[in-house]
Structure formats: structure tokens, C-alpha cells
């Protein structure tokens, strides 16, 4: 529910004012529940652009943002290698946090971020992932309704231009949380984990491939996930950009972001299948076909909604809590490990039933 006009529910500061911040800013500025009140970035041009767009104060240092009056929560959109330090600092300052994907370069970093938030008694939302889009909440509802019978298989196939966009060296360095697996697999892993109802991923078998002459680093991955209970998922991601998912299926608006990042996503059950298709879900079962509308919004408003809901007295933790994000990164890291070692990686992850 929106706050009455002029009375936002939360005053947000944004740490890191680059591409990711620019991508979420329109949704945040348009959201009556939110007031964007501060930003932090060492780069003056990024601060100037942010101040122009929002009218909010922009600081060169995160500590100044955290000291500024009237910041309730922080959206961490700095480079991945700084996420842990920035989440820990925000938590220590008593701020709730939404952190971009990938949550951190390592699973240990994620665990430390969860601990820092718990210790400080603040909320941590593992945001920036496409699974926060209303399309996937709607798919989850369809699956939960039993319309598909028993859920058997999930697939996500994405073709994007991720690899060949302009990139700083750190964006491609896996040790710093860069590279296509760390950056893009979270969208697909998070989505299938959500659709699987938070069942535990038991094992991962994956390959990665390097074939671009223009940028000879990993540009493609493929992963099979086995969930507790027998459900399987296959993720395919090709970042070379010659043909994109949005060329294969033409859709407008926020739906194109879902398609671009998570790809073509299909959930198949014993008596039907469902997929997002533009502004609706296409559901086909033994009883016939139907289009199901998807609520308006996007992954940014989805993250905000989870944070706001969890801030209400007596509410439980957000679905995309820090522990959820840690578990997703564990699967993402297992994709890299499986590809490197050419073995199936067994995971000990506990299921988070959502």
C-alpha cells in the first residue's frame, strides 16, 4: 500500500551512483513510498548527475551518507567487491539495506553480511535480481495453486549482450565478483529457486565456455540444478549478443527486462506449463489455455515492497533476505566450481520454504 502523497514510508540513500543506480532510480523516484534523500560516490560526475535527477545530497564518501540525518535505509549499488564493507557499515549505522546482485564475491562474505545485519538488528534484502519482478510472484502463485499438477522442471534460457558491453577490468575479474557467471547467473538461479518454493538445491553440474574473438573470457554458461524432492532446472546463458532473447520474443516495458536478464523462463508440471509473456502469464494445462495478468511493477519496486513489508511491526523477514541471497550465491559459486572441476558439485544448502 502506498503512503499518502508527501509522506514517504522510507527515506533511502544510494551507495554507488553508476549504471545500477541509474537503472533503479526511475522506479525509486516515481515510488510514493520512497524518498531518495542521499547518494554517495567518489566520482564527481556520478554525484552531479544523481543530484540533478533527484535533488538529493550526494557525498563523496559512504561514511558521510551514513552520518547524514534522515536516512532510514541504504541501497548498495557500489562495485561488488565493496558490498560487504558497505553493508557492514550501513548495518553498524542502524540502516536497513537492499544490496545489488551479486551479493558479494564469496559465500563467506555473504555470511558475514547476514551476521552483521542480524547483530545490528537491521533488515537485509538481497535485491537487484529479476526474481523480484511481479511476473515471478505471479508464476509462484500459479505453481502454488496446483494448476500445473506436480512441478517437475524449470528452464531459463537467456541470450544477451552482457559480454560485449563496455566494461572495466574489475567487471570481468571473477576474484572480485566479476564475470558473466557471478553477474548474470544470480538472476536465473534466484528465479528458479523462487519458483521451486525455496526447496534446497542439492547438486549443480555446469559448463562455461569462452569463444569470443573480441573479448576472450567466459561468455556462456549452462547449468543443471537438482532440487530436493526431484525437481530439476536447466539454466542457459549466452552473453555474446548477436541474437538476444528480446529479438526472439518481442515485448515492451518492464517485461523486456525480465526477458533480458532471466531469459525465457518456463515452469513445467505434470499437467501443464506456464511462462511470463509480456504483461501476462501464458498458462496451458490439461483444462485449456489462459492468460493471467501480471501486477504492475518491476524488480526495484519488488525489493522495496519486501523491505517495507518486513519493517511493519510483527512482520517476518523479507523473502529475499540476506540468507536467501547467500544461498543463491552458493549455487552461483557452484556453477563456477563445477565448470572448473568438471564434476557435479554437491551442496549442503538448507531449503528456505517460501
Ligand X SMILES: NC(=O)c1ccc[n+]([C@@H]2O[C@H](COP(=O)([O-])OP(=O)(O)OC[C@H]3O[C@@H](n4cnc5c(N)ncnc54)[C@H](O)[C@@H]3O)[C@@H](O)[C@H]2O)c1
Among 12, 14, 20, 305, binds ligand X (CB under 6 A): 20
- 3-class DSSP assignment, residue 321: strand
Measured from the CB of residue 130, what is the shortest distance to ligand X in angstroms? 8
**From 94-102, 114-122, 143-151, 210-218, span contacting ligand X (CB under 6 A):** 94-102
Measured from the CB of residue 350, what is the shortest distance to ligand X in angstroms? 26
List the interface residues with ligand X, window 164-223 (CB under 6 A): 183
Identify the residue whose cell numbers are 499437467: 271
**From 12-20, 212-220, 243-251, 332-340, span contacting ligand X (CB under 6 A):** 12-20
Among 10, 15, 135, 329, binds ligand X (CB under 6 A): 15
By C-beta, is 227 or 237 nearer to ligand X?
237
What is d(CA 90, CA 67) in angstroms, rounded to the nearest whole number? Answer: 10
Among 43, 63, 209, 248, binds ligand X (CB under 6 A): 43
By C-beta, is 17 or 206 nearer to ligand X?
17
By C-beta, is 202 or 244 nearer to ligand X?
244
Q: Name, in order, each residue with C-beta under 8 angstroms of 285's C-beta and a sequence gap of 6 or more.
A: 147, 148, 149, 271, 272, 273
By C-beta, is 101 or 326 nearer to ligand X?
101
Q: Which residue is nearest to ligand X (CB)?
A: 18
78 binds ligand X (CB under 6 A): yes
245 binds ligand X (CB under 6 A): no
Measured from the CB of residue 291, what is the shortest distance to ligand X in angstroms? 27
Query: In the chain, at which residue ranges do the beta strands (DSSP E only) sit?
Result: 10-15, 34-40, 57-59, 73-76, 96-99, 124-126, 151-159, 201-209, 220-227, 232-238, 264-269, 272-277, 280-285, 288-293, 345-346
Give 247-273 as a DSSP string: HHS---THHHHHHHHT-EEEEEETTEE
What is d(CA 10, CA 21) in angstroms, rounded to the nearest whole number? Answer: 17
Among 3, 18, 228, 347, binds ligand X (CB under 6 A): 18
Residue whose C-alpha is closest to residue 303's, from 183, 101, 128, 117:
128
Among 14, 28, 38, 62, binds ligand X (CB under 6 A): 62
Measured from the CB of residue 54, what is the shortest distance to ligand X in angstroms? 15
Residue whose C-alpha is closest to residue 265's, from 175, 182, 191:
191
Measured from the CB of residue 228, what is the shortest distance to ligand X in angstroms? 28
Residue whose C-alpha is closest to residue 172's, from 164, 160, 180, 161:
180
Residue count of the chain, please give it: 354
List the interface residues with ligand X, window 97-136 (CB under 6 A): 100-102, 128
Is there a contact between 77 and 50 (Cβ–Cβ < 8 Å)?
Answer: no
What is d(CA 82, CA 87) in angstroms, rounded to the nearest whole number? Answer: 9
**From 18-26, 110-118, 150-158, 246-254, span contacting ligand X (CB under 6 A):** 18-26
Phi, psi (rounded to 5 degrees) for 124: -125, 120
By C-beta, is 62 or 185 nearer to ligand X?
62
- 3-class DSSP assignment, residue 276: strand
Each residue 305-324 as x (binds ligand X by CB under 6 A) or -, in order, gives --------------------
77 binds ligand X (CB under 6 A): yes
| Residues near ligand X (CB under 6 A) | 15-20, 23, 40-43, 46, 62, 77-80, 82, 100-102, 128, 183
Amino acid at each position: 500500500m502506498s503512503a499518502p502523497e508527501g509522506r514517504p514510508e522510507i527515506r533511502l540513500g544510494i551507495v554507488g551512483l553508476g549504471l545500477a543506480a541509474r537503472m533503479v532510480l526511475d522506479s525509486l523516484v516515481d515510488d510514493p513510498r520512497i524518498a531518495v534523500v542521499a547518494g554517495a560516490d567518489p566520482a564527481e560526475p556520478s554525484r552531479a548527475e544523481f543530484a540533478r535527477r533527484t535533488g538529493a545530497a550526494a557525498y563523496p564518501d559512504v561514511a558521510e551518507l551514513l552520518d547524514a540525518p534522515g536516512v532510514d535505509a541504504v541501497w548498495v549499488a557500489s562495485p561488488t567487491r565493496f558490498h560487504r564493507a558497505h553493508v557492514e557499515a550501513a548495518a553498524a549505522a542502524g540502516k536497513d539495506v537492499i544490496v545489488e546482485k551479486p551479493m558479494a564475491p564469496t559465500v563467506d562474505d555473504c555470511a558475514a553480511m547476514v551476521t552483521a545485519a542480524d547483530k545490528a538488528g537491521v533488515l537485509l534484502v538481497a535485491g537487484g535480481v529479476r526474481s523480484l519482478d511481479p511476473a515471478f510472484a505471479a508464476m509462484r502463485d500459479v505453481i502454488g495453486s496446483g494448476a500445473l499438477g506436480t512441478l517437475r522442471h524449470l528452464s531459463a534460457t537467456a541470450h544477451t549482450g552482457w559480454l560485449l558491453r563496455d566494461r572495466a577490468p574489475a567487471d570481468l575479474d571473477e576474484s572480485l565478483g566479476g564475470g558473466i557467471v557471478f553477474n548474470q547467473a544470480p538472476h536465473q538461479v534466484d528465479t528458479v529457486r523462487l519458483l521451486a518454493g525455496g526447496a534446497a538445491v542439492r547438486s549443480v553440474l555446469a559448463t562455461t565456455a569462452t569463444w569470443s574473438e573480441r573479448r576472450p573470457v567466459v561468455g556462456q554458461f549452462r547449468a543443471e540444478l537438482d532440487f530436493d524432492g526431484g525437481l530439476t532446472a536447466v539454466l542457459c546463458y549466452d552473453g555474446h549478443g548477436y541474437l538476444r532473447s528480446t529479438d526472439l520474443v518481442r515485448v515492451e516495458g518492464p517485461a523486456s527486462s525480465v526477458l533480458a536478464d532471466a531469459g525465457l523462463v518456463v515452469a513445467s508440471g505434470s499437467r501443464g506449463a506456464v511462462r511470463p509473456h509480456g504483461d501476462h502469464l501464458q498458462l496451458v494445462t490439461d483444462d485449456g489455455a489462459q492468460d493471467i495478468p501480471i501486477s504492475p511493477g518491476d524488480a526495484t519496486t519488488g525489493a522495496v515492497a519486501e523491505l517495507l513489508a518486513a519493517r511493519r511491526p510483527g512482520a517476518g523477514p523479507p523473502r529475499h533476505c540476506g540468507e536467501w541471497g547467500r544461498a543463491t550465491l552458493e549455487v552461483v559459486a557452484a556453477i563456477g566450481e563445477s565448470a572448473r572441476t568438471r564434476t557435479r558439485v554437491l551442496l549442503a544448502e538448507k531449503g528456505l520454504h517460501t
